[in-house]
Structure 1
Amino acid sequence: MNGKKLLAGAAVLAVAGVSVSSAVRDDTLAPPPIVDHGPVRLVAFDSCDNALTELRRAMSPYVSAYGLGGRPQIFTMGDATTNSAGNAEKAMPSTPPAQQQEHSTTNVHEQGVDEPDIVKTDGKRVVSIADGKLRIIDVATRAVTGVVDLGDRYASQLLVQGDRALVVANSPMRIEKPALPPDMPSFAPESGTELILVDLKALKEISSLKTDGYYLDARQVGGTARVVVRSQPRLPWVYPNETTNEAGSLRRNREILQSEPIQAWLPRYELNENGARSSGTLVDCANVSRPAAPSATSMLTVLTFDLSGKLGTGQPVSIIADGDTVYGTDRSLYVADDHRLLPELPSRPPVQRPITTAIHQFDISRPGPPEHVASGDVSGTLLNQYSLSEHDGVLRVATTTGTETRCCWRVPTDQANTPAPPPSESFVTTLRRDGNQLAKVGQVGGLGKGERIYSVRFIGKMGYVVTFRQTDPLYTLDLSDPRQPRVTGELKITGFSAYLHPAGDGRLIGVGQEANDQGRTLGTQVSLFDVRNPAAPQRLAQYHLPDSNSEAQFDPHAFLFWPQDGTLVIPVTAYKTYQEISSVVLRVDGDQLRDGGKIVEPQTGTNYGGGQRRTIVIGDQLWSISASGVQVNARNGLTQQAWLPFTR
């Protein structure tokens, strides 16, 4: 790592090259040196024996009769209301397509940084993932021209570059684990991520890479894809049962901790490259660095793939930390961790504690694996990746603070005397890289006291934050001076926007829910805001569809805005019947939102996918894709031009 400094809370291990060894990898860079930074001392393990000793020591305080951290726990956030939109899929973003394009692309946060989705198009073909099959639809002939059957793997997303597709699938690796008691839900189930490289021209799977861990997210710049996964140690914990009490289970788990080998902590892989199979651990323990007081309960790994070449093992770069939110520009990749998955120390009663979010920055400006360059932390938690935005070297971060309460199955006897948590409050904090730190530059708070953030959008030097409990304040923020960010205006309306999208000319589109004065949601709402005067934001127009919900609230990839003619499309589902109303088409016409009609999917025997999920623009047509098929409609007038049913 060439003496690279690391910051508090982060520990980095870097791996270079691609290996197909069946043992611990040895094709690594030289171990990083000991680094001191402030009160944190980061050291590199000089041997596997030393690594094992330190990892066991770090995990020991968390071991209980139920594995790590005691019985399952429930998390609440201050006294803010629950936000299903914020917890959905750590939503993804959107930038209007370039004016010269004749087809839309995936709605993404940063221009030039692609994000995985269930549909991709280059204007000549449409590639979709549904029911375990990758399908290629030719635009000119409006026909399915190729199918790649991915078997029983749950393929959820894909990235495309040329004639290559990288498919993300959930495919558990074989791990021997004891069965949990029937009344004991597992908070750490067997899990694995499989990345499948597909040749779209030859219609065949080229190679696949399995890693043990949860898939977090991915980003693609040019032909390079970077995938972030989170892995946990694989220790065969035991649990109390009819023959073993808690004391016996705790004793046995402590013995397991001291007996398991180093491979139980290191992430593993299984690679199938053109029929040649290999497996092993991704990293050599001599390359592992860690802070002076790690928990050793999880590890983040960033995998890098050149989609035009071999898949390999992804040139992993890992940090001993947790993570839940990924945000990327064309030069930096950020992974944020709000520490919510850190187990509670079993020796302590449930507590209320302030929560913070750690943010780790990786440099991806050069080919090959990323380099960890800085870390920092902020108070509170993020909503999703839109809570992060880098502009002119400054990272803007929107968070909601409060108190996280962990409540176990056993209610403390003194719970009645537990003080009430402080009210929640939201902030925007600016950070700038200073050496190996993401150092705080400025901050503005006081947003939505007693509420929480429901949506965020940063556009240039402006920021827009929606908080909600009973009414929806839309705050406008001036971030032109990172040292003194300030709130410039506020608009209070009923309901909330769960996703905000720039519409040009000082206008902003919001997709969310209408609500009554008590905060009860009433159905899908689309708002058109005028933010040209930051001191006095206004709502110009509103569309409301009662008793409905839209996937665009939870996943902005489901949102389409075509600025050339103002076409806006979102999929909508009815509350009571859970039936798709297919896609709602609106037109942004100056200061108006005009109802353009609905795209209704044909009801046939092949309808098994639950309705349309994505709509894309290709020329003068709208292509709406579901798991059942593809429907083509005229962009003007919505006349149906074709229906291409998928077959199982």
Structure 2
Amino acid sequence: MARGTVTAAAGTLAALTLLAGSATGLPRGTTEPWTPPAGAVRLVSFDSCADALARLRAAATESVSPWGLAPEAIDLLGGPVPAMGDVRKSRAGAPGGEAAQADHSTTNNHEPDADEPDLVKTDGRRIVTVTGGVLRVAAPATRRITGRLDLAAGDDPTLPTDWPAASLLLHGDRALVLVRSAPRIPVVGGKRPADNGEPGPRLLLVDLAGPPTLVGTYRIDGSLLDARLTGATARVVVRSHPRLTFPYRQDATDEERLAANRAVIAAADLDAWLPAYEWTEGDRREAGRVGCDRLSATADSTGSAVLTVLSFDLTTGRLGDGDPVSVAADADTVYGTARSLYLAGSRHPAGRPWRTGWVPTAGPAATAIYQFDTAAPGRPRYLAAGAVPGTLVNQYALSEWQGRLRVATTSGDAFGPPPASESAVYVLTRRDGTLARTGSVTGLGRGERIHSVRFLGPTGYVVTFRQTDPLYSLDLTDPAAPRVTGELKITGYSAYLHPVGEGRLLGVGQEADERGRTQGLQVSLFDVADPAQPARLARYHVPKAASTVEFDPHAFLYDARTGLVALPVDNALRLLRVTGSSVGEVGRVAHQGGAPVTRSLLVGGVLWTVSDTGLRASDPAGAEQLAWLPAS
């Protein structure tokens, strides 16, 4: 572990948070959302590794309970903006005499030029998937499998053969496979590197220039939070918790358990908090641990979590050590643009116990947000941080536009006595290292919670729900005075919103009866051309059904040229056609054996669908099968 003095030099990942102030929870039943304490946001650096350890021990000792450490975060369910996932035009040709790229769809990313990991990737001349620990490459032009790499293969039959779900990032001739927690590190260069058996995410670098070849691996303590690819740089965010083992005696009192837990913290060294990692390249294997010179902390850190950002240049053909930087803080949401990376996580009022008996407490919360500059390759550079009341529904509740950040949150208990909750949209502006609140609109959906958000340039759309679905349209042109311009109440709700042309918005979610009980999949086409009078033009309903799009927007496909919408429903793929004022089904795609269809993409006018059993090529006009490429 590196030893030395920690500095706040530019380029080092440093986290900020609100300075100490009054921060007490509101009494149960209070409807006013808790506001984070006022004050500046500042860097917190360490004078030495001993100082870092002392602060982490103190923070953990203060926040530990008789049952252990609680996570700091609670996981909860300018100019025209292009529609994500639309078909891109290909280049006229490809370098090196390679086959020209066909017109192809992209991953349904939140923002352009900030690619997100997914189960399948295409560049127009090849389709890359990974299922069951096997990476496959297909050529859409010839409709054949051209490459296969068994990532789980090994020379030790005693090792487990199960392989968790994985996702991909693709840049040029290299694919980065992200595995949340692989059972082992696979073979590289014909030899298996030592594996300490610790759980944690695995990153696998695969060369696709010829037959798929594994050229490097990476493992780090913790869990994979998310990743973004901007240019050739992949930035991977990992969350880890201190490796502390707390004793538990059934016959002990709470005071005795608390004292025992604090004794464990007092005896821990810095390695308990700093994540270890190892990486391989051919026969070479290197191991290390994030140094204390790469660690910063927030003023209110509880010592219960560490975030690490890794940066990999996919043009080099190697992973290296990932240039890791860490912060003693927590986050549950990652949002990225072409120039910025935001990490956001829930925060609860200081001094509020995280458990009452064995039941986690609810209560008011805020969201802390950290912004980093990712415009240049390499390690991200800290920019600013701030906080807003309430919690996020997902990354779509965040949006950067014209240098400002818009944030939609829900405060209070949506399931308590009405109106115990409400939602709001805040506008934050970066000033002297602080994401300062410059405007807000509050009081949305009292007694309800946010189910979906979409920001499109100067306009925002927020769906709240408890028994009915108010779709709010907002004018965010003036960052100091955002305002609600219209409201539409219908039964059910939209869990995902997608622009489908000028003045049109598509919502995918659930129909519900007047008491709020869900009744099956509902796809709604909204007319939002008049911000004062949003209206629903058409509706597609499948009783007792649901779509993975409701919680995973990567499963959504939209082709703006033809109006085609594809979304998995139960095990099959439903093909819908959106026109100016209607939405209706035009076909269905099912895979052999009834395997669930997880993804769809368009390459050269052909619809490709993905499942664990294989790839299918279909005519998008009527779903006629053109080819079947089995996985085995």
TM-score bracket, normalised by the shorter chain, equals 0.7 to 0.9
3-state DSSP of counterpart to 1:280: strand
Tell me the equivalent position of 2:99.
none
Of stretches 612-621 and 49-58 in structure 1, the one that deviates more from structure 2 is 49-58
- C-alpha root-mean-square deviation of aligned residues, in Å? 2.9
What is the Cα deviation at residue 190 of structure 1? 7.4
Q: Distance in 2 between matches of 1:394 and 1:140?
A: 43
Asked whether the equivalents of residues 124 and 138 of structure 1 are also in contact (C-alpha less than 8 Å), the reply is yes
1:629 aligns with 2:614: yes
Query: Counterpart of 1:273?
Result: 281
Question: Which moves more between the two structures, 561-570 or 617-626?
Answer: 617-626
Structure 2 Cα separation of the partners of residues 324 and 43 of structure 1 = 21
- 2:444 equivalent to 1:447: yes
The equivalent residue for 1:124 is: 125
Per-residue deviation at 1:292?
4.0
In structure 1, the residue matched to 2:241 is 232
Residue 359 in 1 paired to residue 373 in 2?
Answer: no
Partner of 1:44, secondary structure, is coil
- Against the structure 1 CA distance between its residues 159 and 144, is the aligned structure 2 distance closer, same or farther, given a 3 Å change threshold? same
- Can you list the C-alpha shifts for 1:168-213, whole angstroms capped at 9, x where unaligned? 1123699xxxxxxxxxxxxxx9741111111123422111111111
Q: CA deviation at 1:137?
A: 1.0
Q: Deviation of residue 359 (structure 1)?
A: 0.4
Matched, 1:254 2:262: yes
Question: Cα deviation per residue 1:496-554 (whole Å; 9 max; x = unaligned)?
Answer: 11000011111001111111111111111111111000100111111111111101111
Alignment check: 8 A CA contact 2:88 2:104 kept: no
SS at match of 1:612: coil
Which is further off, 149-158 or 202-211? 149-158
Contact 2:74 2:346 in 1 (8 A): no
Distance 2:519 2:72 in 1: 31
Matched, 1:594 2:584: yes
Q: What letter corresponds to residue 170 of structure 1 in structure 2?
A: R
Instruction: Note if 1:300 corresponds to 2:297.
Output: no
Q: Distance in 2 between matches of 1:341 and 1:312?
A: 40
1:373 paired with 2:383, answer: yes
Letter in 2 for 1:638: A
Q: Any idea what the Cα deviations from partners look like across 1:282-326, whole Å, max 9, x if unmatched?
A: 22x244333444211111111111111120121122222100011
Task: Decide which of 485, 493, 497 is 2:494's aligned counterpart.
Answer: 497
2:592 alignment partner, SS class: coil
Q: Which residue of 2 aligns with 1:643?
A: 628
Q: Deviations over 1:380-422 (max 9, x none)?
A: 00110100001111111010111599xxxxxxxxxxxxx9796
Q: Distance in 2 between matches of 1:281 and 1:490?
A: 52
Partner letter of residue 496 of structure 2?
A: Y
Distance, in Å, in 2 between the alignment partners of 1:564 and 1:594 is 16
Looking at structure 1, the residues matched to 457 and 449 of structure 2 have their Cα atoms a distance apart, in angstroms, of 23
Q: 1:396 aligns with which of 375, 388, 406?
A: 406
Alignment correspondent of 1:457: 454
Q: Match for residue 203 of structure 1?
A: 212
Q: Contact 1:402–1:421 at 8 Å: present in 2 too?
A: no
1:342-384: per-residue Cα shift (whole Å, max 9, x none)? 9964798776642100000000111210011100000000110
| Distance of 2:42 and 2:373 partners within structure 1 | 23
Distance 1:559 1:287 in 2: 39
**Cα contact 1:9–1:321 (8 A) shared by 2:** no
Residue 247 of structure 1, CA deviation = 5.5
- Judging changes above 3 Å, is the alpha-carbon distance between structure 1 residues 190 and 68 closer, same or farther for their aligned structure 2 residues? farther
Give the letter for the 1:223 counterpart. Answer: A
Supply the distance in 2 between the matched residues of 1:74 and 1:563 (Cα, whole angstroms). 38
Listed one character per residue, the Cα deviations across residues 255-306 of structure 1 (whole Å, up to 9, x for unaligned) are 22121211111111021222211222122x2443334442111111111111
Residue identity matched to 1:46: D
- Judging changes above 3 Å, is the alpha-carbon distance between structure 1 residues 396 and 39 closer, same or farther for their aligned structure 2 residues? closer
CA contact (8 A) 2:41 2:386 kept: no
Number of the residue aligned with 2:193:
none
Return the alpha-carbon distance in structure 2 between the equivalents of residues 348 and 547 of structure 1: 37
Q: Quick one: distance in 2 between partners of 1:361 and 1:622?
A: 38
Letter in 2 for 1:222: G
C-alpha separation between the residues in 1 aligned to 2:73 and 2:236?
29
Q: How does 1:7-406 map to 2 (within 5 A)?
A: 8-9=16-17, 42-69=43-70, 87=77, 94-98=84-88, 102-151=103-152, 152-171=162-181, 191-200=199-208, 201-241=210-250, 249-283=257-291, 285-309=292-316, 310-339=318-347, 345=353, 353-403=363-413
The aligned length equals: 565
Distance 1:190 1:510, change over 3 A: farther
Residues 355 and 191 of structure 1: CA distance in aligned 2, closer, same or farther (over 3 Å): farther
- Structure 2 residues not aligned, in runs of 5+: 1-7, 20-37, 78-82, 91-101, 153-161, 185-196
User: What secondary structure does 1:548 align onto?
Assistant: coil
Contact kept, 8 Å, 2:587 with 2:623, in 1: the verdict is yes
Instruction: Give the alignment partner of residue 598 of structure 2, picking from 609, 613, 618.
Output: 613
Contact 1:173–1:192 (8 Å) recurs in 2 = no
Cα 1:103/1:351, change in 2 over 3 Å: closer
SS, match of residue 102 in structure 1: coil
**Which whole-Å CA distance do the structure 2 matches of 1:301 and 1:342 have between them?**
24
The CA deviation at 1:162 is 1.2
- Comparing 472-481 with 633-642, which one deviates more in the overlay? 633-642
Q: Check 1:326–1:431 CA distance in 2 against 1; reply closer, same or farther (3 A cut).
A: same
CA distance in 1, matches of 2:73, 2:289: 33
Instruction: Measure how far apart 1:10 and its partner are.
Output: 7.8
Equivalent position amino acid for 2:588 in 1: K
Hey, what's the Cα distance between the residues in 1 that align with 2:529 and 2:483? 16
Distance change in 2, residues 1:136/1:75 (3 Å): closer
Alignment equivalent of 1:568, drawn from 565, 568, 580: 565
- Given that residues 173 and 211 in structure 1 are in contact (C-alpha distance below 8 angstroms), is that contact kept between their aligned partners in structure 2? no
C-alpha spacing 1:195/1:567, structure 2 compared with 1 (3 Å): same
Closer/same/farther in 2, CA of residues 535 and 256 from structure 1, 3 Å limit? same
Does the CA contact (< 8 Å) of 2:467 and 2:516 recur in 1?
yes
Structure 1: which amino acid aligns with 2:297?
R
Q: Deviations over 1:125-180 (max 9, x none)?
A: 11111111111111122122211112144242110111111111123699xxxxxx
Aligned partner (choices 474, 479, 484) of residue 477 of structure 1: 474
By how many angstroms is 1:51 displaced?
2.0
Q: Which segment drifts farther, 631-640 or 524-533?
A: 631-640
Paired AA for residue 119 in structure 2 = I
- 1:27 alignment partner in structure 2: none
Alpha-carbon spacing, 1:245–1:146, altered in 2? closer, same or farther (3 Å): farther
Q: Distance in 1 between matches of 2:132 and 2:348?
A: 32
1:95/1:502 contact within 8 Å kept: no
- Paired-residue identity, %: 49
Distance in 1 of aligned mates of 2:537 and 2:444: 23
Question: Aligned partners of 1:395 and 1:235: how far apart in 2?
Answer: 37
Distance in 2, matches of 1:551 and 1:389, equals 23
User: Is the contact made by 2:614 and 2:631 (CA closer than 8 Å) also made in structure 1?
Assistant: yes
Distance 1:421 1:313, change over 3 A: farther
1:428 and 1:40 map into 2 onto residues whose CA distance is: 21
TM-score by length of 2: 0.84
Matched to 2:120, the amino acid is V
Evaluate the alpha carbon distance shift between residue 382 and residue 286 of structure 1 in structure 2; reply closer, same or farther with a 3 A threshold: same
